[in-house]
Chain A
Amino acid sequence: MAPDIPLISLFLASIFTSNILLANFLGMCSFIAISKDMNSSNGLGLAVVVVLTFTTAVNWAVLNYVLIPLDLVYLRFIVFIIVIASVVQMLEMIIDRVSQTLYLSLGIFLPLITVNCAILGVSLFMEIRQYTFVQSTVYGLGSGLGWWLAIMALSAIRKKTEKSKVPAGLQGAGLTFITIGFMAMAFIGFTGLLQVQ
């Protein structure tokens, strides 16, 4: 099992020092496409928080109670993907029943999340670092919040840079990448705070 990491450090580290997006490069595709618009960023960020927390917990259970006892760990990629797709589908149905307003704001983002690399990435990190169940859930929640924070910050910056004059070749993706680079540098500043790997 994992070394005893205090839950609070694990939580803060997954948001700030080892941010899933800025330090591990996960979830970039939708990050760049969606961050053009602040409202969508907010919706997608929220959906990622919910899905990450659930899927990491479910994947932990599947890994430890099904795959390891049956010695099928090499099938984990397929199994994790299926679990993620079904959790997303179930969440979509539950949200649809429970709250129509929430469904309208989150609904369109849920299918997008199945192919978000951050979700699968967190499950794989959880497996490699051998977290316990509580640690995995906290790690999933923290990573989701970190992703949400990063996408909100980027879309706010992009709103500002939208109107500024930049060379034609730099417009769009180029400028976005360089902006993300600066954000990542800023986040490295948190490293002094705590370092958990």
Chain B
Amino acid sequence: MSDAAKAPGAIMKQNLWTSNPIFMQVLGICSALAVTNLLSNTMIMTIGVVFVTAMSSLTVSLLKSLIPRKVRMVVQTLIIAFYVIIVDIVLRAYLPEISRNLGPYVGLIITNCIIMGRAEAFAQSNGPVLSFWDGMTSGMGYMGVLLTIALVRELLGFGSLFGFQVLPAGFEPWIIMVMPPSAFFLIGLIVWIGKTIMHRQGEPVLEGE
């Protein structure tokens, strides 16, 4: 993360594109690939991630002078867990159906490395408003990639979008798209396309861990 980019616009471009959490840094794929088979699940899940990332970045930034350095990881985890519990309870109350579909994956937002990564890399050393913005745009970069995957998987796997049938009835669903391997193939392709475009534009490509 270059320290030069501190303007809101630059942060957004960085988080949505040049250092997109998924295809540049390969972070946080754990908890969300499993829910990309249906668009509506992915939508709810990623909105949850955006909320948790933004709010926990904000909180970490507000509390940064109060948290002793030695225990900051634990405190950050607890802050994140606090927001994840809120998301979980809200989903249970208002969207019980989707909450059941998402199963354990809502809880797994806690271990999503993006959130911890942003808290550690950005919110630790920046003001609350910028941190909130940074967390939100990182979450949105993540959302964009996952929604793309979900779009392809639901369209080809079920012939529908958000549960509405869009392809003609004669369409033969691709069973592979319903199964886990397709998510890996699609994310591989997206990484490939993203990086190729970046090479063309001559952007410096950060090698993710």
CB 8 Å contact bits of A150-180 with B (1 = contact, 0 = none): 0000000000000000011111111111101
Specify the main secondary structure of chain A where it touches its partner.
helix
For B30, what are the chain A residues with a Cβ–Cβ distance below 8 Å?
Answer: 25-29, 117-118, 121
Cβ-based interface call for A33 (8 A): yes
For A22, what are the chain B residues with a Cβ–Cβ distance below 8 Å?
Answer: 180-181
For B74, what are the chain A residues with a Cβ–Cβ distance below 8 Å?
Answer: 85
For B85, what are the chain A residues with a Cβ–Cβ distance below 8 Å?
Answer: 74-75, 77-78
For B196, what are the chain A residues with a Cβ–Cβ distance below 8 Å?
Answer: 167-169
CB 8 Å contact bits of A116-131 with B (1 = contact, 0 = none): 1110110011011000
User: Closest residue of chain B to A76, judged by CB?
Assistant: B107
B53 to chain A: closest CB distance in Å?
16
Does A81 lie within 8 Å of B81, measured CB to CB?
yes
User: Closest residue of chain A to B200, judged by CB?
Assistant: A169
Cβ-based interface call for A67 (8 A): no
For A23, what are the chain B residues with a Cβ–Cβ distance below 8 Å?
Answer: 180
For A115, what are the chain B residues with a Cβ–Cβ distance below 8 Å?
Answer: 111, 113, 116
**Count of chain A residues with Cβ under 8 Å from any Cβ of B?**
46
Cβ-based interface call for A32 (8 A): yes
For A184, what are the chain B residues with a Cβ–Cβ distance below 8 Å?
Answer: 179-181, 184
**Residue in A32, A169, A175, A185 whose Cβ sees the most chain B Cβ within 10 Å:** A169
User: Closest residue of chain A to B184, judged by CB?
Assistant: A181
Does A121 lie within 8 Å of B113, measured CB to CB?
no
Does A169 lie within 8 Å of B104, measured CB to CB?
no
A174-B195, A181-B182 given as contacts; is B188 within 8 A of A117 (CB)?
A: no
For B54, what are the chain A residues with a Cβ–Cβ distance below 8 Å?
Answer: none
For B207, what are the chain A residues with a Cβ–Cβ distance below 8 Å?
Answer: 172
B157 to chain A: closest CB distance in Å?
15
For B27, what are the chain A residues with a Cβ–Cβ distance below 8 Å?
Answer: 29
A24-B34, A117-B31, A169-B195 given as contacts; is B180 within 8 A of A74 (CB)?
A: no
Does A117 lie within 8 Å of B103, measured CB to CB?
no
User: Closest residue of chain B to A126, judged by CB?
Assistant: B104
Interface set of A (CB-CB < 8 Å, partner B): 22-29, 32-33, 74-78, 80-81, 85, 115-118, 120-121, 124-125, 127-128, 167-178, 180-182, 184-185, 188
Listed A/B pairs (12) with beta-carbon separation below 8 Å: A24-B180, A25-B31, A26-B31, A81-B110, A117-B30, A120-B110, A169-B194, A170-B192, A170-B195, A175-B188, A176-B188, A185-B176
Given A25-B183, A81-B77, list of 6 further CB < 8 A pairs?
Answer: A22-B180, A25-B32, A78-B82, A171-B195, A174-B192, A188-B181
